[in-house]
């Protein structure tokens, strides 16, 4: 089915379908954190053991996300996407019915199987449906849930645990998944691509690398035993090198190396990784600072961060005009600098200042985050050839998953380093947060250098008619 055979009405629905999947994923990734103590108490478990419920999901996604492109090419985007939504909903239901930690971990694995396919396959459908000069607009609508999910997660989770029960943090996924499944059955096109075979050896090497990197990143920010975890990171990167050696000799590797010969893809991948080191840590560090540094409740911290979600939607409406006026290179360079400056600004208000001084910074940051994610994700796939679309899209998804993990772990490590420096913070934990925001803000500004590799005309094919 070619894009001109898809009715315009259907094309308007496709971003909404992908948005349902992204929203569930991003909400689920943060809503659980605020609920773990309540779940642990109900299941008669130590809160420290509940980390398994998070890690089991993260590892399942990391292991299976690399094969999402192959699965979509082989079995069709429609079948795989609907199956992914169904598995995620089933896993969510089983999580709510869990009677012990083992049941919960198994249910989270089922969720992870669905979650590993939802976003890559949904985005692949958009890429194959929309001509490139319409893709930014379509991706723009679909990406908003990725911005508001992490903000709403802690807030919604806090209210549900306090006023209903922890079971509802999983049951909330069911109506959203049902809407996504119904819309997919009616509107989602079904694309297949020829594939001569599956690179099982390459998959095993790459999956092992992402497995080790993901678990190391997940634990690195929550452990004082850094030496074994740093060894894990070393072996993860070593396996990536072995994959590189394998892919050089393989006729059809799971991720072809010539993907990186496409300059816009290369810049998009590296830029995603570098920029998210700072951006991904903010939704975690801000609520922590509000609760630990200022001594406020979880609900108050959720409300203070919430404006970021509203301004992200405003940014969505502005990004097309900005890209058309300035181009991708200028937009990404200056937008990254602005984001870094805003993150550094969280270091300005002291304990004697009102906590609400952070709200204007938070609101403005949400606006520029929206522009950043839309621009980075679309420039990465701007010049991919049709035979590279599936593998390039899958690799972009894996990269984003790892980048978020790097960002969270990086933010927590910097915070712990400053927290342990008594001379510097003088017994005030709030000072540690201020220095942390200053460091990650400066590093985010430095990541703008990555986008200097873009040419001024890069991305013109994406914005020609926008």
String of DSSP letters for 253-305: -SS-GGGGGSHHHHHHHHHHHHHHHHHTTHHHHHHHIIIIIS---HHHHHHHH
Checking if the pLDDT of 34 tops 70, the result is: no
134, 4: one domain? yes
Residue 205 lies in a domain: no
Identify the pLDDT of residue 221.
Answer: 59
Residue of 104, 110, 112 lying closest to 42 (CA atoms): 104
| Entry pTM | 0.80
Identify the pLDDT of residue 175.
Answer: 92
Q: What's the pLDDT tens digit per position in 6-19?
A: 456 677 788 888 88
216, 307: one domain? no
Residue 384 lies in a domain: yes
Distance, in Å, from the CA atom of 207 to the CA atom of 21, rounded to the nearest integer, reads: 23
pLDDT bin (cut points 50, 70, 90) of residue 332 is very high
Burial of 223 (C-beta count, 10 Å sphere; 0-12/13-18/19+): middle
295, 277: one domain? yes
For residue 166, the domain's CATH number is: 1.20.1250.20
351, 448: one domain? yes
Instruction: Identify whether the C-beta of residue 436 lies closer than 8 Å to the C-beta of residue 346.
Output: no
| Count of structural domains, the chain | 3
Identify the pLDDT of residue 111.
Answer: 93
Average pLDDT along the chain: 83
Distance, in Å, from the CA atom of 25 to the CA atom of 27, rounded to the nearest integer, reads: 6
Phi, psi of 117 (to 5 degrees): -105, -25
186, 312: one domain? no
338, 434: one domain? yes
Q: What's the pLDDT tens digit per position in 201-220?
A: 888 998 888 888 877 876 76
Q: How many CB atoms lie within 10 A of CB 246?
A: 18
* DSSP three-state, residue 455: coil
Identify the pLDDT of residue 46.
Answer: 73
| Mean per-residue pLDDT, 91-105 | 91
Instruction: Identify whether the C-beta of residue 384 lies closer than 8 Å to the C-beta of residue 265.
Output: yes
pLDDT bin (cut points 50, 70, 90) of residue 28 is confident
* DSSP three-state, residue 100: coil
70, 113: one domain? yes
Instruction: Please identify, among 253, 286, 317, the residue that sits at the C-terminal boundary of a domain.
Output: 253
Identify the pLDDT of residue 198.
Answer: 80
Identify the pLDDT of residue 288.
Answer: 78
Nearest 5°: the CA angle 188, 182, 316 is: 65
Identify the pLDDT of residue 2.
Answer: 47
285, 222: one domain? no
Burial of 82 (C-beta count, 10 Å sphere; 0-12/13-18/19+): buried
286, 410: one domain? yes
Identify the pLDDT of residue 132.
Answer: 78
450, 355: one domain? yes
Phi, psi of 426 (to 5 degrees): 55, 45
Checking if the pLDDT of 374 tops 80, the result is: yes
Identify the pLDDT of residue 335.
Answer: 95
pLDDT bin (cut points 50, 70, 90) of residue 303 is confident
Distance, in Å, from the CA atom of 293 to the CA atom of 428, rounded to the nearest integer, reads: 8
Residue 60 lies in a domain: yes
Residue 135 lies in a domain: yes
| Mean per-residue pLDDT, 264-283 | 88
Q: What's the pLDDT tens digit per position in 408-460?
A: 778 888 888 887 766 666 667 778 888 899 999 999 999 999 999 998 888 87
Identify the pLDDT of residue 450.
Answer: 93
230, 296: one domain? no
CA distances from 382 to 86, 137, 170, 265, 393 (A): 31, 13, 36, 7, 11
Residue 203 lies in a domain: no
Range of the domain at 43: 1-198
Q: What's the pLDDT tens digit per position in 165-188?
A: 888 888 888 999 999 999 999 888
Q: What's the pLDDT tens digit per position in 39-86?
A: 888 888 876 567 678 778 877 887 888 888 888 888 899 999 999 999
Residue 204 lies in a domain: no
Distance, in Å, from the CA atom of 349 to the CA atom of 168, rounded to the nearest integer, reads: 36
| Mean per-residue pLDDT, 390-416 | 83
Q: Which of 2-11, 149-158, 330-339, 357-366 has the highest mean pLDDT?
A: 330-339
Residue of 9, 23, 18, 5 lying closest to 129 (CA atoms): 5
Q: How many CB atoms lie within 10 A of CB 386?
A: 9
Identify the pLDDT of residue 33.
Answer: 63
Q: What's the pLDDT tens digit per position in 237-267?
A: 999 999 999 988 887 888 888 888 889 999 9
274, 358: one domain? yes
Residue of 445, 448, 455, 142 lying closest to 319 (CA atoms): 142
Q: Which residue has the higher pLDDT, 182 or 312?
A: 182
Instruction: Identify whether the C-beta of residue 184 lies closer than 8 Å to the C-beta of residue 85.
Output: yes
Residue 153 lies in a domain: yes
pLDDT bin (cut points 50, 70, 90) of residue 91 is very high
| Mean per-residue pLDDT, 295-304 | 75
Identify the pLDDT of residue 6.
Answer: 47
| Mean per-residue pLDDT, 256-279 | 89
Q: Which residue has the higher pLDDT, 367 or 355?
A: 367
């Amino acid at each position: 089915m070619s894009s001109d055979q898809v009715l315009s009405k259907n094309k308007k629905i496709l971003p909404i379908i992908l948005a349902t999947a992204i929203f569930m994923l991003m909400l689920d990734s943060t809503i659980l954190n605020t609920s773990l103590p309540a779940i642990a108490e109900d299941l008669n478990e130590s809160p420290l053991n509940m980390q398994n419920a998070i890690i089991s999901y993260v590892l399942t996604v990391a292991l299976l996300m690399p094969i999402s492109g192959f699965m979509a090419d082989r079995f069709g985007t429609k079948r795989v996407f609907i199956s992914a939504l169904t598995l995620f909903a089933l896993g969510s239901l089983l999580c709510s019915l869990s009677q012990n930690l083992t049941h919960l971990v198994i249910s989270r694995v089922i969720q992870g199987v669905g979650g590993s396919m939802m976003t890559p396959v949904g985005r692949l459908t958009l890429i194959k449906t929309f001509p490139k000069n319409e893709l930014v607009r379509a991706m723009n609508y679909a990406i908003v849930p990725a911005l508001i999910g992490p903000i709403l997660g802690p807030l919604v989770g806090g209210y549900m645990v306090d006023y209903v029960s922890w079971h509802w943090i999983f049951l909330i996924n069911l109506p959203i998944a049902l809407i996504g499944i119904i819309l997919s059955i009616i509107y989602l096109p079904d694309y297949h691509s020829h594939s001569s075979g599956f690179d099982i050896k390459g998959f095993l090497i790459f999956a092992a690398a992402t497995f080790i990197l993901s678990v190391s990143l997940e634990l690195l920010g929550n452990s004082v035993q850094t030496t074994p975890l740093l060894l894990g990171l070393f072996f993860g990167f070593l396996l990536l090198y072995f994959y590189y050696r394998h892919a050089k000799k393989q006729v059809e590797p799971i991720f072809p190396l010539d993907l990186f010969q496409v300059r816009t893809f290369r810049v998009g991948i590296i830029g995603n990784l570098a920029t998210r080191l700072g951006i991904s840590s903010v939704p975690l560090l801000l609520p922590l600072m509000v609760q630990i540094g200022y001594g406020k409740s979880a609900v108050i911290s959720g409300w203070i961060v919430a404006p970021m979600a509203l301004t992200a939607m405003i940014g969505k409406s502005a990004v097309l005009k900005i890209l058309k006026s300035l181009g991708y290179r200028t937009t990404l360079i200056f937008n990254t600098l602005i984001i870094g400056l805003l993150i550094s600004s969280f270091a300005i208000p002291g304990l004697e200042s009102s906590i609400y001084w952070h709200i204007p910074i938070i609101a403005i940051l949400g606006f520029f985050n929206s522009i950043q994610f839309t621009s980075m994700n679309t420039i990465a796939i701007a010049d991919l050839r049709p035979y590279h679309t599936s593998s390039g899209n899958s690799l972009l998804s894996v990269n984003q998953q790892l980048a978020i993990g790097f960002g969270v772990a990086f933010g927590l490590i910097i915070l712990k380093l400053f927290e342990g420096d008594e001379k510097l913070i003088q017994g005030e934990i709030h000072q540690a947060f201020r220095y942390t925001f200053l460091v990650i803000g400066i590093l985010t500004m430095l990541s703008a250098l990555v986008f200097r590799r873009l040419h001024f005309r890069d991305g013109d094919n994406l914005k020609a008619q926008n």
